[in-house]
Amino acid sequence: MNERLVIARKEFLQAITNKGVLIASFIFAVWFPVFTTLGILAGTGGDPGTALGGHLANLSVVLALFMGYLFSSDAFFREKKDGTILTLLCAPVSIRQIWEGKVLGVSAAAYGMTIISILITVIVAFVLSSVAITLPWLLLLHVIVILPVYAAASAGIIGSAQLYLGMRENQLLGMGFVFLFIFLIFGLQGLVSPEGGVTIQTEVFFAVFGIVLLALGRRWAGRLSKERIVRTIT
């Protein structure tokens, strides 16, 4: 079996059986999007479907980034703390193969939790809304195509950083990268499409920005060496 798929399967199974991460991600996946969505429905004066679609598109990117952060922290930093990364480094696989396998497994779990969050939010909105809601078709494209990229990009960059940085620096890393991504994404999105909502322009922007982030993480991982990672453990 392909080495990447073996690593990916291991990381995915560990992710979906880690009760601590699952509880934290599920609380965030339910509490934050449901309450913000209720606020959107209460405050909108126009078409609720358009308002909800734009809100879900932006919110889901935040969710994918945050879920990627949660699951990647367990996959990368945990193995440095308990020393199991040393066993993996002795295997006949490259750093990039290790990174790709971990990102694939982690992002699959992160994407799955993001989908669960969106489904719960949509169900709540449909049940509590006093008028019929028709969501834009672009939202489906956004969920299927864009969100997996952001889950992988978040896991990839944070994973590369955690492999590259020392143990003390990793303690300070926290959610810094996630907040930076969110600030850049929505700051630039406001320039691309000031009116908001789910549009072709915003979806193209999301796709390009997500691919750039994913490529940066992969390039960073490719510049790592096993010696560098071993030195950062001590």
Query: 91-115: per-residue pLDDT in tens?
Result: 788 888 889 999 999 999 999 999 9
Question: φ, ψ for residue 191 (rounded to 5)?
Answer: -80, -35
User: In one letter, which amino acid is 1?
Assistant: M
Per-residue pLDDT band for 21 (boundaries 50, 70, 90) equals: confident
For residue 4, CA distances in Å to 1, 21, 92, 99, 231 come to 9, 23, 12, 8, 24
Write out 42-80 in H/E/C secondary structure.
HHCCCCHHHHHHHHHHHHHHHHHHHHHHHHHHHHHHHHH
Positive/negative CA dihedral, 162, 207, 132, 39 = positive
| pLDDT of 171 above 70 | no
Q: Which residue has the higher pLDDT, 143 or 195?
A: 143
pLDDT at 37 (0 to 100): 75
pLDDT at site 181: 67
Give the residue extent of every domain in the chain. Answer: 3-233
Q: Name the residue with tokens 């930076």.
A: 180
Residue 178 reports pLDDT greater than 80? no
Averaged over 74-85, what is the pLDDT? 80
- Per-residue pLDDT, 151: 94
As a whole number, the mean pLDDT across the chain is 82
What's the pLDDT band for 43 if we cut at 50, 70, 90?
low
Question: What pLDDT score was predicted for residue 28?
Answer: 82
pTM of the model: 0.86
Could you report the per-residue pLDDT of 150-168, keeping only the tens digit for each? 999 999 998 898 888 877 7
CA atoms within 13 A on the CB side of 11: 35
SS3 of residue 24 by DSSP: helix
Quick one: pLDDT at residue 31?
81
* Range among 34-38, 137-141, 144-148, 200-204 with highest mean pLDDT value: 144-148
Task: Write down the residue that tokens 């392909």 correspond to.
Answer: 2
Mean pLDDT over residues 61-80, rounded?
Answer: 85
Residue 189: is its pLDDT beyond 70? no
Gap between the Cα atoms of 152 and 154, Å rounded: 5
Question: What are the distances in angstroms from CA 75 to CA 45, 114, 204, 222?
Answer: 44, 18, 30, 18
Burial class (CB in 10 A: 0-12, 13-18, 19+), 20: exposed
